[in-house]
C-alpha cells in the first residue's frame, strides 16, 4: 500500500528487522501455537541478548559493590558503572556526565525533582503548568506538591487529534509559571510535542522546564542541549534495558543548588555526629547501593540503540503506523484516538472497538498471541478528556513487522466475531 498519510516520507525497510529479531530471545516463542506478537512496548520493551549478556557478565566476572572497595573487583564494577553513565550522557548529548543521575525509573527521577527542587522552589501562589497528556508519574508529583504548598496547577488541553493546544499553553505561560512539566511524547496517544519551541517559550516566561522523555528517548533522537530543557527524565526498561535502570538529567548549576533527595551511603563526602557534607554531582543524588548492574546494562542498551540508529528506529515505527492506520480505520466500529497522520508521532496507536471493552479485547488478543495494553495507561486525565474509560493500545518498536500489524488486524476481526459486532 502506498503511504499517503501526511507527514515525513517513509522509506520501506529502514531496518534489517529479521536480523534484529534474532537478538531478542523471547521473540522466538509461540503462544498457544501462535507466534508471539509483542505490541506493548510503551509499557516495557523486550531485551536483546547483548543486554542480557552484559548483566550476566557483571555477575559472573566482576561483581562487587561500587565506589567502596579498594580491591580490583570493586574497581572494575565501578569503572563499568561510570562508563555506562558516560554512554548515557553521550546518547542524549548531555554537556557533562556529572549531570546524569542514575535512578530506578522515570518516576523516581520526577519525584527526585519534585522533592529536592520543588519543595524549595515552588511556593504558595506559584503556578505550575502541565498538560493533560502527562503520564501519572509526571502529573501526581506536581499535583501533590501544589496541594502541599498552596501552588496553582494549570493543565493544558489537547485538540481532537490529540495535539497540544499551543494557544492555551502560551496563554498559561504568559500568566506566569515557575515550572513547566511536559511530556515529550505521549504514552497514551503517541503524540510528539514541539518541545524545543515550547521550552524556549517557557524559559523566556521565566519557568524551569522539565521534560518527561520516557517515551521519547527509546524511539526518537533526543538531544538535551538542543531541546533547551532544565531537567529530563527517562526509564531504561522502555529502551531495551532492565527495569531498575533510568536517568535524570539536569543542568549542573541547578543540581548543585538542590538539596539531596535520599540520604545515606555514597551520597556523602564527610559525616560527623553533628553534620554531613554532601558528595559531588552526580553521587549526591545516588544514595545507597544503586542498581548498578541495571545501570551497566542500560549502557549496553544505549550501545545497541546507537548501533542500530534511533532515527532509523523512528522511521521504521512510522512505516508500521503508515501500514496499520488505514487498515484500522477501514474496520467498521473501530475508533482511533490521537493523531491520524505521521506528523510528529511515534509508533503508539490507541483505539477502541465499539461494543467491546478494552479488557475483553486484550483477553481475546492474548489468545491470538498478540500482547497489547488495555486500560487507562496511567493516563486517567487523558482518558477523561477523550471521554472513554479505557483504550486498547498497540505500541511498536524496532523488532515489530508488518506481519505483526496484520496479526493485530486479524485479532480485531476475531474479537468482533466473538462478540458478534
- C-alpha 216, offset from chain centre: 6
Q: Taking the complex as a whole, how short is the minimal distance between the CB of residue 418 and other proteins, in angstroms? A: 5
DSSP 36: -
Residue (309 or 389) nearer to other proteins, CB: 389
Smallest distance, Å, CB 108 to other proteins? Answer: 23
Strand boundaries in 165-225, DSSP class E: 179-183, 208-212
Q: Rounded to the nearest whole angstrom, what is the least distance from the CB of residue 386 to other proteins in the complex?
A: 11
Give the residue with the Cβ less far from other proteins, 332 or 387. 387
- Please tell me the distance from the alpha carbon of residue 234 to that of residue 241, in angstroms, as a whole number: 12
- Min separation Cβ 187 and other proteins, Å: 16
Q: Which of 151, 378, 408, 415 is catalytic?
A: 378
Please report which helix (H) or strand (E) contains residue 49, including its range: helix 49-57
Shortest CB 383 distance to other proteins, Å = 7
Q: Which three cell numbers stand for residue 65?
A: 559493590
Residues that bind other proteins (CB under 8 A): 356-360, 363-364, 374-376, 380, 383, 388-390, 418-420
The reply to whether 378 belongs to the active site is yes
Q: Are 348 and 42 in contact (CB under 8 A)?
A: yes
**Residue 191 or 392 having the CB closest to other proteins:** 392
> How far is residue 400's CA from residue 415's CA, in Å, rounded to a whole number?
22
Bridge partners for 3 per DSSP: none
Contact assessment for residue 37 and residue 402, using Cβ atoms and an 8 Å cutoff: no
What is the distance in angstroms between the CA of the first residue and the CA of the last residue of the chain? Answer: 27
- Could you tell me the CA-to-CA distances from 362 to 261, 366, 411, 414 in Å, in that order? 39, 6, 9, 11
The Cα–Cα gap between 158 and 233 comes to: 22
Q: Toward other proteins, which CB reaches closer, 315 or 356?
A: 356
Give the nearer residue to other proteins in terms of CB position, either 205 or 418.
418
Residue 192 gets which letter from DSSP?
Answer: B
Grid cell digits, residue 245:
535502570
Catalytically annotated residues? 378
Amino acid at each position: 500500500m502506498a503511504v499517503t498519510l501526511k507527514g515525513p516520507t517513509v522509506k520501506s525497510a529502514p531496518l534489517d528487522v529479521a536480523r534484529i529479531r534474532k537478538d531478542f530471545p523471547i521473540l522466538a516463542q509461540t503462544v498457544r501455537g501462535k507466534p508471539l506478537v509483542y505490541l506493548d512496548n510503551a509499557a516495557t520493551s523486550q531485551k536483546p541478548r547483548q543486554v542480557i549478556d552484559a548483566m550476566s557478565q557483571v555477575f559472573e566476572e566482576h561483581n562487587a559493590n561500587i565506589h567502596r572497595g579498594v580491591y580490583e573487583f570493586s574497581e572494575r564494577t565501578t569503572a563499568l558503572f561510570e562508563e555506562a553513565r558516560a554512554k548515557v550522557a553521550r546518547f542524549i548529548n548531555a554537556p557533562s556526565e556529572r549531570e546524569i543521575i542514575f535512578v530506578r525509573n522515570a518516576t523516581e527521577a520526577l519525584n527526585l525533582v519534585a522533592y529536592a527542587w520543588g519543595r524549595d522552589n515552588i511556593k504558595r501562589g506559584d503556578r505550575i503548568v502541565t498538560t493533560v497528556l502527562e503520564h501519572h508519574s509526571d502529573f501526581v508529583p506536581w499535583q501533590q506538591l501544589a496541594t502541599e504548598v498552596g501552588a496553582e496547577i494549570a493543565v493544558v488541553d489537547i485538540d481532537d487529534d490529540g495535539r497540544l493546544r499551543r494557544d492555551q499553553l502560551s496563554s498559561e505561560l504568559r500568566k506566569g509559571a515557575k515550572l513547566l512539566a511536559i511530556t515529550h511524547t505521549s504514552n497514551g496517544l503517541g503524540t510528539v510535542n514541539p518541545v524545543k519551541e515550547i521550552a524556549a517559550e517557557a524559559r523566556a516566561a521565566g519557568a524551569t522546564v522539565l521534560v518527561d522523555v520516557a517515551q521519547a528517548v527509546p524511539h526518537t533522537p533526543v538531544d538535551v542541549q538542543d531541546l533547551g530543557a532544565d531537567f529530563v527524565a527517562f526509564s531504561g526498561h522502555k529502551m531495551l534495558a532492565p527495569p531498575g535502570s533510568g536517568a535524570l538529567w539536569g543542568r549542573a548549576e541547578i543540581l548543585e543548588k538542590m538539596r539531596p533527595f535520599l540520604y545515606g551511603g555514597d551520597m556523602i563526602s564527610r559525616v560527623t555526629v553533628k553534620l554531613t557534607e554532601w558528595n559531588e554531582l552526580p553521587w549526591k543524588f545516588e544514595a545507597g547501593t544503586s542498581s548498578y548492574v541495571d545501570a551497566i546494562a542500560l549502557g549496553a542498551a544505549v550501545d545497541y540503540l546507537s548501533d542500530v540508529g534511533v532515527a532509523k528506529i523512528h522511521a521504521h515505527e512510522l512505516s508500521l503506523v503508515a501500514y496499520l492506520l488505514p487498515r484500522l480505520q477501514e474496520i467498521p466500529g473501530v475508533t482511533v484516538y490521537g493523531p491520524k497522520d505521521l506528523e510528529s508521532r511515534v509508533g503508539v496507536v490507541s483505539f477502541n472497538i465499539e461494543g467491546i471493552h478494552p479488557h475483553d479485547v486484550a483477553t481475546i488478543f492474548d489468545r491470538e498471541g498478540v500482547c497489547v495494553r488495555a486500560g487507562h495507561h496511567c493516563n486517567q486525565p487523558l482518558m477523561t478528556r477523550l471521554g472513554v474509560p479505557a483504550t486498547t493500545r498497540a505500541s511498536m518498536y524496532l523488532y515489530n513487522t508488518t506481519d505483526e500489524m496484520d496479526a493485530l488486524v486479524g485479532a480485531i476481526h476475531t474479537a468482533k466475531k466473538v462478540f458478534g459486532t
